[in-house]
Structure 1
């Protein structure tokens, strides 16, 4: 498959595609003209080049070379059509414009919070409530940006081919403490929420034992789960689960403990051919979003504790 992706990268370069299109169109026009007339490329070339001292054998050789070029163009065109139908293409390099925009949004909100905090008469409790609400908004926004990024960097991938969910670990436990509960923080596409099977996942419950996120947490490995083949993927009786082709799960870490989990399901089409290819894509394109999600979850925990501290101070 790597050979096919390399071939697709070369075949779909703008210069090569333009060359193939021009040759194929020219060949079509030549064959049509030849069918309607008695035109002969060899005879025409000989008539034009003979006065210049070019022997007929050279003209015939040139025509043979041109014939091979036309044959190559036709085969290349067939290959391009096949690659298009099979949805095989190069995995482009990740573009982090969407991630940068998320970081800018967070920075702007931090600046506003700093202004509120430093202003005369700044209300600590109100600030804590605002920070808590903003953390949830940022997580939802980041999930949407991640979906846009996946569609932009995976050939032929569309929004309907993705389902992304982020769970936060509750309660905020000490390092390595189990069991824990995963509570849904956000998902994409959002629609009406009907696509979400489990809003709350009890890591210690038997009914969730087959979930990849639960298996990853209970294993203690703390590594990403990459499944290019989802034949054994845990499925509920939903249309979304019946269409899943690949799965990528990433534990979200903070303070040397799991603070959440990121799930990405790819449906409808085969975008990856091996677990290693899926992991390679993850490393180049998703890690930045994972780190920012971890920041938001830690921020959410901090906000809860800040809110509690502010409430206690007010009561005191």
Structure 2
């Protein structure tokens, strides 16, 4: 009797090839892996907490996004902001983190003073007796104050004065240069700091052999370098050079930023013609310094000696 289990294995050569090819294709499909390239954009900003009022970003204590390079090279070394951990950022909840491009420390200070004056005026009105107010409205005649037109005179200073009755008005005040010098001496610190990246130190000169001919190319190049070093200032040779420079315009911009934080200081008009370096008077670059170290500057607001303020700037290496 024949066996009921009939072998179904292919008998011919073509059937064997067809079955083996099908198994290979199924095996390749089951073991295939498909991977895609990651296309997630790298974040261009990080969220930091401000430790000082910064114009164009926000007031002290706010969380703003800034480029990592700005935080690493400028804000963090100067303690203007601090990094935030993931736990601190999660604790903010749904607070929208964005910079305030319209923020100005000087403007916010002016608005705060105006708000305080309005509150003081309201307190005075609340203290006054209602009967006195009625008598004032009954017998007091309306007075229109005529404001004369100001003549066009080139003022040395501008001020914005406030009055609880007249509101805010721009009033030109003509202040002498001596008073401007007193304001600068009171507000500007004795030392102003600037940060620049130092250049790497040049390699030491090679010691040439005495047997080398004086007419050789190496000897001529060494002699030329020695002549150039002899022409340079010995103090500058001892100070490391920096990339770029610190110019008079940089110093004036720094002083103006300090003056604008105060109402009296905001009245001072200062330009690059009023500031000069003391040590640079005999050098080629009189309006800038290109080395690390301390330098003395004179702020002259007039020809008199009492109208001059002397300060020091220090150029430090940026870490």
TM-score by length of 2: 0.27
Structure number with higher relative contact order (C-alpha < 8 Å, ≥ 6 residues apart): 1
TM-score by length of 1: 0.27
Structure with the largest fraction of helix: 1
